[in-house]
Structure 1
Amino acid sequence: MTMSHASDEGLGVFDDDRPTAPRRKKRRGPLFVLLMVCIGVLAIALGVAGYYAGRGLAALDSVSRDQQLTPQDYEGRPAPATPKPAASGEEQAQAPVNFVLMGSDSRSDIENGRSDSMMIAHVTGDRKAVYLVSFPRDMWVDIPGHGKGKLNWAYAYGGPQLTVRTLEQLTGVRMDHTVLIDFEGFVKLTDAVGGIEVYNPWETEQNPGVRFEEGLIQLDGERALTYVRERYPLPNGDLDRAYRQRTVVKAIIRKIMTPETLANPVTFTQVVGQLADTVTVDDAMTNQYVTDLALSMRLEGTGSIGMLQAPIKGFGTIEGQSVDVVDTEGLAELSAALAGDTMDEYHAANLDEASGELGEVEPEE
């Protein structure tokens, strides 16, 4: 194995790095992690009477559910999470919840292919925070039943369920639910909220005439899609692309929570309807489950949403493949925080470039 810590060596050839199983050629879209947006908006919709509650319930009814996304039991699977003991005088917290979020080019297409990027969304037991943890597609990991390979190969070998099992084996933490995100729906959602503003740390130009300046930039749907799909012009390829994805998700949440969205019945209807059309969930995420989770959330704005990168220690070449090399000690710390519901402390201790918080600057309100 060869290693490089400050180059693009580990982000090399992507077109020939898949398993040999045949698959239909498709556009490769990134992950757009909108589940928490959906839950936040539904909490508002279901928490008020009349028109808004009706729209929230209608959106739930239209969400697609698929058994192929439901995590499966197997021998040796990590145990379900348990609530942390309540301190004296404090309300008993619930168990934390982990969602695996994967990208798809079509909400109806979950045939074996590749999920080029994925995240775990960790909802804390007290429901006061959500942590989005990106797992690079090129992490070199054990894939159950298939030996060593890149993380996104798990999707090619066995679809969402093998991907979930691979993440569970990698972290030692049970994943409770799976959500598939449709990137075409993401474009429409960004337009539905009237565009977003994000901080871009790197000036780039991948396609002729499509330039993203350093600093605060405005993005509509198609431009936002281009922004989060870029990787070649970025200093660390897929790692920096994952950072962009996280900041765009946070910007969408910020925009949805504004009075301009929430107090406008027409805009609210468009946003809620588009959210429902953007996600496909496992069949255990019933209307009642989502409603109960939404109403239990205690988020206080976008400051309650933390963004992290699963630890890697560099880039390398293994068996002819350009890979991201797992930081086993760092991953053990992350796994312990996920399992023990101590992500607040872990996040506070890992706000640096390695964790994915690459100097984010919040736009002025």
Structure 2
Amino acid sequence: MSKRAVDGFVPRRQLPEVSAEGLGRSPSGSGVRRRIAVSGANHAASPKPLSSPAISRAAQRPSTIRNSDRADIDASLREIGNLSDLDAPTAPDGRKKRGKKSKKPISRRRKIIKRGIIAFILIIVLTAGWFAYRALMASKSVFKGDLFGLVQQKPLKQDANGRSNILILGTSEDDEGHEAGYLTDSMMVLSIDQNKKNAYMVSVPRDLYVKYGRACDAGYAGKINVYFNCVNNDWKSDSAEDERQKETRSFVGEILGMDLQYSVHVNYSVMRDLVSAIGGIKVNIESRDPRGVMDSNFDWKCGTTRAEKQERCPRGHYISYPNGEVELDAEHALYLAMARGDIAPTYGFEQSNFDREKNQQKIMMAIREKALSTGTLTDFSKVTKLVDAIGANLRTNFETGEVRTLVSLMQSIKQDEIKSVSLIDAEPAILTTGTVGGASAVIPVAGTYNYSGLQAYIKKHIYATAITREEPRVVILNGSGIAGAAQAEATKLEELGIAVNTVGNVPSGQTYSSNKIYRVGEKTKSATEEKLKSLYHTSVSPSNELSGVTYSANTDYVIIITKAQSSKSR
């Protein structure tokens, strides 16, 4: 056991003394924990730890140190270097544990790089959070449902033919000084097939004459663009907005013969802000006039001074473009969408609203193409502006869970798979212009309020089947003796896309024991014949067996009804 001093400290073991005559070893011969002291000529000095100067003085007297003891000196010097380990803890095996080595200091360059990376990550996180907040707030004001629905991808609602139909309504209530801003200056239907990845656009003539089914400012009948405000004129209430859209979807859908599941209400600011956000668009002008298009109605935008007019209206008018591709900024895109040549001088707008509707479709297509381009979707400022434009000026009944599905569809549908269906260019014509109640209006060729031809035309193009592609035309004659039997069958056939030229009775004095189908056209229309045979459970007879019946030259089949088709065969 070690010996303790009175003050409680344990004295160190003494190292061997070094005399003037040479180096001595410890009595025990151990080389552990030695202490070197310098003695006088005839007596030993008081022992004390050897300092570096002492070592130096000893090294300067080589004559007093034997060469044979050089190894002992070196060992003693090494022990001095290990004096700092005397208080280190002892391991189980008896060896001293050494302390941890000090870390190498980080260079200034590495610190700068590290701080830069952290700052960059922080900026990304904060930016993404800010953008997400903006998007969520915009979504909350635009779409139905909770915000968590944005992470879903819910399928869109469909009609009986598997298509999702969206009614797009454009008003100008945000345009100060615009008379009757509550009217729907543009009405369009976008029909999408989620499986076949195609879409159709149909513009509804704003002047189409209709019965409202309720009392409106224009009375009980008038132009279709009045109906939206006729439902509810409270433009500040969200519930009134929902009611307007719901009732208008039902009303327009009944006229077109379509199930409209969705609606979108936009104002002028949406188009202006969208085009501005994506940095302008390109539109192909296709006028019947070789000069292109020009509408002087918006020349007040040119300014008053000569310099302003030269800068803003280089072609002499604010809306004036040659045929071909032109670039449009936000203001020019908006006013081209409004132009219809209603004030002279003008050219290229001979069809007035119909030309305007075609241009509106082109502008929509251009916005879609630019918005889905790589440059736009990766530009943070543009995406932010898009979100702001939509959030502030668009209202719809789309649910948040359907948004991702809609965006995905618009990205996956190719440009050439989005087709325009023109109601005014139909052949034979289904709509014409005229005067009703002293006002100009668009009315069906079949007669005011008769939309059967309009509905058949839409079905033939949007809901194209093997039958509608053949464009069959038939005459239906009632031989059953039951009033209205032929008309009932005509309605059912038109739902299948078979056009009915005439509905009447069989010639007087002729009787038929069963249903008959006669082919009177020059061409056999296979899909139509197979459907008619299955509906009326009879074969197709040649025309030479039919007598006493008159029909038009474009008729393909004459159908004699003696009993109605069964519900199972429809």
Q: CA deviation at 1:321?
A: 1.5
Number of the residue aligned with 1:173: 258
Number of the residue aligned with 1:20: none
Number of the residue aligned with 2:169: 102
Alignment of 1:149 with 2:267, yes or no, is no
Number of the residue aligned with 2:374: 259
Matches within 5 A, 1:351-362: none
Alignment of 1:190 with 2:275, yes or no, is yes
Matches within 5 A, 1:83-232: 95-105=162-172, 113-126=182-195, 128-145=197-214, 147-159=220-232, 160=244, 161-200=246-285, 201=287, 202-206=292-296, 207-208=298-299, 209-210=317-318, 211-232=320-341
Number of the residue aligned with 1:342: 464
Q: CA deviation at 1:143?
A: 2.1
Number of the residue aligned with 2:438: 320
Q: Distance in 2 between matches of 1:53 and 1:121?
A: 33
Q: Distance in 2 between matches of 1:51 and 1:83?
A: 44
TM-score by length of 2: 0.43
Larger radius of gyration: 2
Gaps of 5+ in 1: 1-49, 68-79, 85-94, 350-365
TM-score by length of 1: 0.64
Q: Is the 8 A contact 1:83 1:125 kept in 2?
A: no
**SS at 1:152 equivalent:** helix
Q: Distance in 2 between matches of 1:125 and 1:337?
A: 19
Q: Report Cα offsets for 1:30-76 as digits up to 9, x if no partner.
A: xxxxxxxxxxxxxxxxxxxx988995785354133489xxxxxxxxx
- Report the count of equivalent residues: 274
Change (3 A) 1:305 1:346: farther
Q: Which residue of the other structure, out of 362, 384, 396, is the alignment partner of 1:247?
A: 362
Q: CA deviation at 1:198?
A: 0.8
**SS at 2:183 equivalent:** coil
Structure 1's consecutive aligned runs of 4 or more residues displaced over 3 angstroms after TM superposition are: 50-58, 80-84, 145-148, 275-278, 292-298, 327-330, 340-347
**SS at 1:236 equivalent:** coil
**SS at 1:144 equivalent:** strand
Q: Which gives a bigger RCO, structure 1 or 2 (Cα 8 Å, sep 6+)?
A: 1
Q: Is the 8 A contact 2:168 2:265 kept in 1?
A: yes
What's the % identity of the aligned pairs? Answer: 21
Change (3 A) 1:313 1:185: closer
Q: CA deviation at 1:153?
A: 2.2
Change (3 A) 1:118 1:82: closer
Change (3 A) 1:51 1:344: farther
Q: CA deviation at 1:265?
A: 2.9
Q: Distance in 2 between matches of 1:295 and 1:215?
A: 31
Change (3 A) 1:245 1:82: closer
Q: CA RMSD in A?
A: 3.7
Q: Is the 8 A contact 1:204 1:212 kept in 2?
A: yes
Number of the residue aligned with 1:301: 414
Q: Distance in 2 between matches of 1:303 and 1:222?
A: 27
Change (3 A) 1:141 1:225: same
Q: Is the 8 A contact 1:101 1:121 kept in 2?
A: yes
